[in-house]
Structures are given as C-alpha cells and as structure tokens.
Copies of this chain bind each other. A is one copy, B any other.
Amino acid sequence: MSATATVEDLGTRIEEALRLRFAERAAAAERYGTDFVALWQTAAEHATGGKLLRPRLLLDLLRALSPHGLSKDETQRAIGIAVDVEMLHFAFLLHDDVIDGDLLRRRRPNLIGTLAQRHGVDPSEPVLHWARSSAILLGDLLLTSATIGFARVDASTDTRDRLLALLEHTILETVAGEHADVALSDGVITPDLRTILATSAHKTATYSFVLPLRAAAVLAGAAPAAEEHLAAIGGHLGLAYQLQDDLLSVFGDADRHGKDPFSDLREGKETAIVAYARMTGHWPSIELRFGTADLTPSEATDMRDRLRECGAEDFVRGLVQEQLAAASTVLAEAEADGTLPPAVAHTILQLASRIEGRSE
C-alpha cells in the first residue's frame, strides 16, 4: 500500500508517464525518418505541461473510491489508463483544430501552427496543408494508442471488457457530438437549444468528465450502480463546465481565461447563449454582425451587452446552476443508499465548486 502518495506526487507521476509515452513513440518513429520523429517531439511539447484535468480527476476519484488505499500495481495501472485518457483528449483537440482551421489554441500556436512556422513566419499553402495533414495523422496514432492502452490494461478480463466498452461508447458519443457541432456551425442542422445542449454534453462532458469518473469506478471494482451514478454526475458537471466555458468566452475576463476574446462571436459559434438570444426580440440586431471574422472589439462589446440585455446570460447561468444542482441531487441519493462513500462526495463537491467559480 502506498496510501502516503500525495496529490502532488500523483500529478508528477502522470506527467512523467505521459512524457515517457511520447518518448517511446518518438523512438519508434526513428526508423521512419527525422521528419516523423520531429512530429512526435512537437506533439510531446504540446501535450505535456498542461493541467491534466482528466487524468487527475480519474485518480482523485479512484482514491476516494478506495478507502484502503491503492497498491503500487493499482496506482501504476490507473496512471496508465489516465495517460490514455489524456492521449485521447489530445487526439480530439488535434482533429478539432483541423476541422476548425485553427492555428492557435489559447492565443499560442497549436501543433499545426508550430509545425507550419518551422518553414517560415508566413507559411505557404503547401506547408499549411502538410501541417494540417500531420495533425490528422498524429490524431489517428494517438487515438489508436489510447485504445490499445485500454486493451492492454493489466487487469481481470471483466475489468478490461468494462473499460473497453466504456472507451468505445465514449469515442462514439464524442464523435457524434463533434459531428453535430460541425453540422451546427456549417448550417446543416437547425440550431435549437435542445440540439445545442445535447451536442455540448456529447462533445465535451462524455470524454472529459464521464469517462474519468466511470473509469475510476471500473478500476476500483465498484458496483455497476456506483458507475451509473458517477456517469450521471459526470454528465451534469461536464455540461455545467461547457456552459461556463461558453459564458466565459462572451462575458468573461479575457486576461484571466486566456482565450482569444469574443472568438465565439466572431466564429458564429452556436452556443446555448445564442440559441436563447435567437428566441428574443434582440436577435435581429445581434444577428447583423454575428459570425463575422472582422468583428471589431467595440462591436463585440456591443453584442455582449445585447446578449446580456436579452436575458441570455442569466438564462445560461441558470442552466449551469441547474446542472450543478442535478449533480448534487444524484450524489445525495448515492450517498443515502450507500452506493458512493463520503470521500467521493467530498471530491465531487470540490469539483462542482471549482466549475461554479471558474474564471479561467
């Protein structure tokens, strides 16, 4: 038992395991030429050094679900799965950036931007094409790597089967969400509120919240009822998180959240805020400049003010509260019927309060 391992220790160990995974891949890439090795090294730079929210959530929950602590082997196995979850996250980000045509993420060059800039400050169209194609192909490898990681987990057949089924469901649902998100932004499907909320839940909540929580339940050998409760809680928290993200992009402090200010308004992103505004009398005046790439800061500020006046901000803040309350209700039920131990409630409530007070 290594119940003395602190939260900081685990964070460091996840980071180390992630670096090791990329180093192994870069070594395996050597026989395919320096260009391919460079791709892996660039990937490692972009995939490490982050907050590791998903791996940490998985390990925090697993510890909370394991009152007698975790053995060395159990910790090792959980770190492996947590790294796979992070690889999956990075794969989704890469394909998302290709689909969105983005060269930046949080105002810094993303993998595509970094690769392209190696060939000059103002990369040619062929260089950009090569950089984007690199991101598609690297995403394919990371997706495969995460799936094979789950398949190779050193656990009982039952645990392995549950983890694989969980991963399969997660990838299907995330891709379905991303597919709907693209259809919304390309105007191929109707941007009603119900579709937008389902899309947010599928695209973000499923792999960022439900997957880590359910994987922790499976690794802890928890009963199916515990896993189901955690799935419901993860769905609510994940949707709250995504809605907060939408609110921050429009109403937040760009110096704190670090994103490109008002990028959602310039890109014409179909969020719950916009779906609500569409149903109000303010929409015609908002619509005029919504989704225009050359939106000026003063126009964006105006648009933000109108989104506030029409009630969209309050409405979406209300949705966040509803989702957080729904998570608390499921948690209380699970505690009452003994499905989830108090340590889990503590971890979940901390997470909920971080989502509620989020400014970055």
Contact = CB atoms under 8 A, between A and B. Distances in A.
A175 interface: yes
Contacts of A176: 29, 32-33, 36
Secondary structure dominating the interface of A: helix
A151 B164 contact: yes
Nearest to A176: B32
A131 to B, nearest CB: 9
Interface stretch (A14-22, A54-62, A182-190, A320-328): A182-190
Nearest to A147: B147
Given A32-B176, A36-B180, A39-B179, 6 more contacts: A99-B133, A127-B188, A133-B186, A134-B182, A147-B148, A148-B151
B126 A187 contact: yes
Interface string A171-214: 11101111110110011110000010000001000000000000
5 contacts: A35-B188, A36-B176, A99-B133, A148-B167, A150-B151
Contacts of A188: 35, 119, 126-127, 130
Contacts of A195: 33
B137 A95 contact: yes
A141 interface: yes
A109 B348 CA distance: 50
Interface of A: 28-29, 32-33, 35-36, 39, 91, 95, 98-99, 119, 126-127, 129-130, 133-134, 136-141, 143-144, 147-148, 150-152, 164, 167-168, 171-173, 175-180, 182-183, 186-189, 195, 202
A32 B98 contact: no
Contacts of A173: 32
B33 A137 contact: no
Contacts of A143: 140, 143-144
The 9 closest A-B pairs by CB, nearest first: A151-B151, A32-B176, A126-B186, A130-B186, A133-B182, A147-B147, A99-B133, A137-B175, A144-B171
A95 B180 contact: no
Contacts of A127: 186, 188
A107 B1 CA distance: 63
A167 to B, nearest CB: 8
Contacts of A151: 147-148, 150-151, 164
Nearest to A188: B130
A182 B189 CA distance: 33
Contacts of A136: 95, 98-99, 136
